[in-house]
Amino acid sequence: MPMRETRPETIVQRAILARPRLVALALAGAGGAAVALWALYRWPAGLLPAAVAGIVALACWIECHRASRVTAQAGEWQRLLSPYLQDLPALVSQLRESASYIEGAVLEACDGFDGIGAKAREAAGAPRPDLEGEILRVVAALQFQDMVSQRIARAVDTLTDLGNDLGACLKQMPLDPEAQAKMEAFQALRRGRVGAIDPKRPVAAGATGATGSTSSARLGGAAERPPRSEPKGRMEIFQPEVGS
């Protein structure tokens, strides 16, 4: 059901909402004057305006207290969230830089292995299965980069969305200029989120677990690594009879 937005319609309503404390003071003064008129001159008509002015003044005071409580809560939220909003853009940038750096390093390594393989073949004058096998092992170990990049991309997405949502929440509250600047910085970061790594790729929970354990095992030293057996279900041929 759509929410109906209520707007102050009259000058009095606007004045009460804009300056409730001032209006309350004015009405309290008017009420006091009406009571004084009634007391001094026994003016009966003064009682009604005095009562109305007193009720409205009381409502204005209540509004003043509510507004000040909301402002205090907003300030508390700002105090709690500002450090995180301040750190998030830098953190996201660092994660992107890290992913980009790792990718560059792995590509350089691949270039190097291409060269090593070619030189070894040249030197031996024939294929060197032993050397090629070793190179393949190292190249396979470099697959950690793809897994790490996917997870970093996911973390960057989550952090960016979190910052964006927090910013949207805080936007509805009265913000100080510093917090506003941080929010705008994060918005700018979000607009430039397509960076060195690919954030478009969703990582399935099951797949993440499976690749994560293998990936971290691969990061360990080769000497300590136990002989691996292929986990069941990692490879499947649907149509072995299909061929060109």
Smallest separation, CB 103 to another protein (Å): 6
CA pair distance 50, 32, nearest whole angstrom: 7
Q: What are phi and psi of 172, to 5 degrees?
A: -80, -10
Smallest separation, CB 116 to another protein (Å): 11
Q: Is the dihedral of CA 200, 206, 207, 208 positive or negative?
A: positive
CB burial of 136-153 (b: ≥16 within 10 Å; e: otherwise) equals eeeeeebebbebbbbbbb
Smallest separation, CB 206 to another protein (Å): 5
Name the residue nearer to another protein (CB basis): 187 or 208.
Answer: 208
Which amino acid belongs to residue 197?
I
Task: Establish if 150 lies at the interface with another protein (CB under 8 A).
Answer: yes
Q: What are phi and psi of 223, to 5 degrees?
A: -65, -35
Smallest separation, CB 190 to another protein (Å): 18
CA pair distance 119, 14, nearest whole angstrom: 83
Query: Quick one: which segment of 9-17, 61-69, 154-162, 226-234 binds another protein (CB under 8 A)?
Result: 226-234
- Over the window 102 to 141, marking each residue x when it contacts another protein by CB under 8 A and - when it does not, the resulting string is -x--xx--x--xx--x--------xx-x--xx-xxx-xx-
Name the residue nearer to another protein (CB basis): 78 or 145.
Answer: 145
Residues 131, 133, 139: CA angle, nearest 5 degrees: 105
Task: Establish if 244 lies at the interface with another protein (CB under 8 A).
Answer: yes
Residues 156-215 binding another protein (CB under 8 A) are 198, 200-204, 206-208, 210-211, 214-215
CA pair distance 5, 20, nearest whole angstrom: 20
CA pair distance 117, 169, nearest whole angstrom: 56
Q: What is the CA radius of gyration of the chain?
A: 35
- Over the window 66 to 105, marking each residue x when it contacts another protein by CB under 8 A and - when it does not, the resulting string is -------------------------------------x--
Smallest separation, CB 163 to another protein (Å): 23
Task: Establish if 226 lies at the interface with another protein (CB under 8 A).
Answer: no
Tokens encoding 175? 């913000």
Closest CA to 79 of 178, 163, 190: 178
Residues 204-223 binding another protein (CB under 8 A) are 204, 206-208, 210-211, 214-215, 218
Binding site for another protein (CB under 8 A): 103, 106-107, 110, 113-114, 117, 126-127, 129, 132-133, 135-137, 139-140, 142-147, 149-150, 198, 200-204, 206-208, 210-211, 214-215, 218, 230, 233-240, 242-244
